[in-house]
Amino acid sequence: MEKIWLSSYPPGVPAEIDVNEFSSLGDLFEKSCARYANSEAYVSFGKAITYAELDAQSARWGAYLQSQLKLAPGARIAVMMPNCLQYPIAVFGALRAGYTVVNCNPLYTPRELEHQLKDSGAEVIVIVENFCVTLQEVLAHTAIRQVVVTGLGDLLGFPKSLLVNFVLRHVKKLVPPWRIPAALRFKDALAQGGAHSLKKVPVTHQDIAFLQYTGGTTGVAKGAMLTHRNIIANLQQAHAWIKPVVREGDETIVTALPLYHIFALTANCLTFMKIGARNVLIANPRDIPGFIKELARTPFTVMTGVNTLFNALVNNPEFAKLDFSSLRLTLGGGMAVQRAVAERWKAVTGCPLAEAYGLTETSPAVCINPLDIKEYNGAIGLPVPSTEVVLRDDEGKDQPVGSRGELCVRGPQVMKGYYGRPDETAKVMTEDGFLRTGDIAVMDEQGFLRIVDRKKDMILVSGFNVYPNEVEDVAAACPGVLECAAVGVPDEKSGEAVKLFIVRKDPALKVEAVMDFCRERLTGYKMPRYVEFRDEMPKTNVGKILRRALRDEEMKKHAA
């Protein structure tokens, strides 16, 4: 497809980016730390660390991994924590030392965590103590050699660190009792690393920076191999897009989305690190009143988020009382931005909400709307620099402008493949190097793309992928279930929600029993919101359950 979208690029945005400007993410990080040494890099619970401090602390962590644990280059380091100062230290330290980061969702159930740790072969995990009870259950079944534990307040300085940890442990009781005998405190690991120097390790563009897990069509989470080249390319693409409107060394970005999610990881943690921004970390964005109080203390210039977050903020009367005079850029991704939310956001803040689109497999950005748009346009934007897109039918034929087709992407940000799963990689990568996204799109004559349908059965809940097979695998194991099917249904808050259809083996089976069974085995966003019992399922002539037929029924109900 001809790159007709280039004519719609905002002034100052190039058609191509230079992926060779940095030799690795460690190279980029060290250059930013040297350039912005005295500027604040991250702020958490009111405590700030500068780029120089981040440089020193991450070097200690990397040296600990190299010299104390003597890990081989490329070893997997799992990181399981919400947004806090320890996160960038752990991630950048591991990358600088030549290791691969495995991001783990802190809300994982033991089943989900065990799979990811075993599949990735992680040898070390650094984890916030709130979630150690989960790790404790599965540790013996993994290859983890060393557990490094931290309290959320550990790096906040005296007396705030004591106060925050005390409240979390004893007042809010958010730290369940746990026992991992060989666990080491994160601060002690940093102290041990301080006795050594961080060794320079040759890291190439083809080395894996992140094993970023995403749901699978087989119901098993797969690790997308994101190389240093992939991530550097995507942050260069994002930077090229925002460069005309941001001021290097003079931005404050609010990071409410979890950094373990690919959107915030690349957009907030990495892209804005490159330009020396001040990154305000929100540990618990679900606490909307607390989040708004934090915003009131911080003149912020940039915010990223998902539709559900923006919706929750604009529907809180306290949010409208904030000072938005410094806010110049708001970026929405992870899920579709709804027109009503975008219009309300602009009415309250005076700042347009620009929608972007991406996938874990593309590091993640594929398309972004021009940042000079005045109103919501319903599009996912234009392909970012150095990116090719085509729309293809079921036979793999390219479709012309104005016609529907599966959105396929080729560019330097597209993953190396799924770790240890060449069969799954082959399902999504074409012979000519395009990634099949599973989303059906239409491109207009200006090059703007709109998502009109979804080819795959994935459910998108508040920006997180939920694959029906995983929900069904869990529900099918529930006593009393004969058959089940999970589909996505429209939801005002989360975009989509999971609905579970069940044919009972035991007529006495209740909804509550199904929900309790699933709750023990699925992260919250994967939980069925609705359960419906049926006498039979719609099926193909070979007996395959027709999820699409169930989903179409639900869409008709919603429309009615």
Dump pLDDT digits (tens) for 375-414: 889 899 999 999 999 999 989 999 999 998 999 999 999 9
Is the pLDDT assigned to residue 64 strictly greater than 60? Answer: yes
Q: How, if at all, do strands 252-255 and 208-214 pair?
A: unpaired
CATH, range 24-203? 3.40.50.980
Residue type at position 409:
V
Span 151-171, average pLDDT: 96
Distance of CA 425 to the CA centre of its chain: 20
CA-closest candidate to residue 412, choices 223, 214, 269, 240: 240
Between 108-117, 135-144, 545-554, the lowest mean confidence (pLDDT) is in 545-554
Reading phi first (left if > 0) and then psi (alpha if -120 to 50, else beta), residue 417 is in: left
Between 214-228, 371-385, 495-509, 527-541, the lowest mean confidence (pLDDT) is in 214-228
pLDDT digits (tens, 9 = 90+) for 8-37: 999 999 999 999 999 999 999 999 999 999
The angle formed by the CA atoms of residues 468, 82 and 45, to the nearest 5 degrees, is 150
Task: Give the model's confidence band at 543: pLDDT under 50 very low, under 70 low, under 90 confident, else very high.
Answer: low
Q: Is 6 exposed, middle or buried (0-12, 13-18, 19+ CB in 10 A)?
A: middle
Residue type at position 537:
M
Q: Comparing 337 with 21, which gets the higher pLDDT?
A: 21
The mean predicted confidence, pLDDT, of the chain is: 94
Between 217-226, 284-293, 456-465, the lowest mean confidence (pLDDT) is in 217-226
Cβ count near 486 (within 10 Å) = 26
The one-character DSSP state at 260 is T
Instruction: Report the percentage of the chain scoring pLDDT > 90.
Output: 82
Is the pLDDT assigned to residue 456 strictly greater than 50? Answer: yes
The one-character DSSP state at 114 is H
CA-closest candidate to residue 205, choices 23, 72, 75: 23
* Domain ranges within the chain, ordered by starting residue: 1-22+229-456, 24-203, 459-559
Identical topology for domains 1-22+229-456 and 459-559: no
Q: Comparing 540 with 528, which gets the higher pLDDT?
A: 528
Span 187-194, average pLDDT: 98
Span 439-468, average pLDDT: 88
pLDDT digits (tens, 9 = 90+) for 78-90: 999 999 999 999 9
Q: Is 304 exposed, middle or buried (0-12, 13-18, 19+ CB in 10 A)?
A: buried
Q: Which helix (H) or strand (E) holds 442?
A: strand 435-443
Is the pLDDT assigned to residue 252 strictly greater than 70? Answer: yes
Cα separation, 371 vs 501, in Å, equals 42
Between 6-20, 519-533, 539-553, the lowest mean confidence (pLDDT) is in 539-553
Its CATH architecture, for the domain 1-22+229-456, is 3-Layer(aba) Sandwich (3.40)
Beta strands in 306-387 (DSSP E): 329-332, 353-358, 365-368, 382-383
Task: Give the model's confidence band at 218: pLDDT under 50 very low, under 70 low, under 90 confident, else very high.
Answer: very low
Q: Looking up tokens 């495995």, which residue turns up? A: 102
The encoded tokens of residue 9 equal 């690029």
Task: Give the model's confidence band at 190: pLDDT under 50 very low, under 70 low, under 90 confident, else very high.
Answer: very high
Cα separation, 103 vs 351, in Å, equals 32
Task: Give the model's confidence band at 539: pLDDT under 50 very low, under 70 low, under 90 confident, else very high.
Answer: confident
Task: Give the model's confidence band at 335: pLDDT under 50 very low, under 70 low, under 90 confident, else very high.
Answer: confident
pLDDT for the residue 337: 84
Cα separation, 430 vs 17, in Å, equals 24
Cα distances (Å, whole numbers) of residue 531 to 41, 296, 504: 45, 40, 12
Span 169-198, average pLDDT: 97
Cα separation, 351 vs 342, in Å, equals 10
Task: Give the model's confidence band at 217: pLDDT under 50 very low, under 70 low, under 90 confident, else very high.
Answer: very low
pLDDT for the residue 540: 63
Cβ count near 66 (within 10 Å) = 24
Cα separation, 29 vs 270, in Å, equals 8
Q: Looking up tokens 């049926």, which residue turns up? A: 534
DSSP secondary structure, 399-435, as one string:
PPTTS-EEEEEESTTS-SEETT-HHHHHHHB-TTSPE
pLDDT for the residue 542: 54
Task: Give the model's confidence band at 541: pLDDT under 50 very low, under 70 low, under 90 confident, else very high.
Answer: low
Q: Is 470 exposed, middle or buried (0-12, 13-18, 19+ CB in 10 A)?
A: buried
Q: What is 459-559's CATH topology?
A: GMP Synthetase; Chain A, domain 3 (3.30.300)
Task: Give the model's confidence band at 118: pLDDT under 50 very low, under 70 low, under 90 confident, else very high.
Answer: very high
Reading phi first (left if > 0) and then psi (alpha if -120 to 50, else beta), residue 71 is in: beta
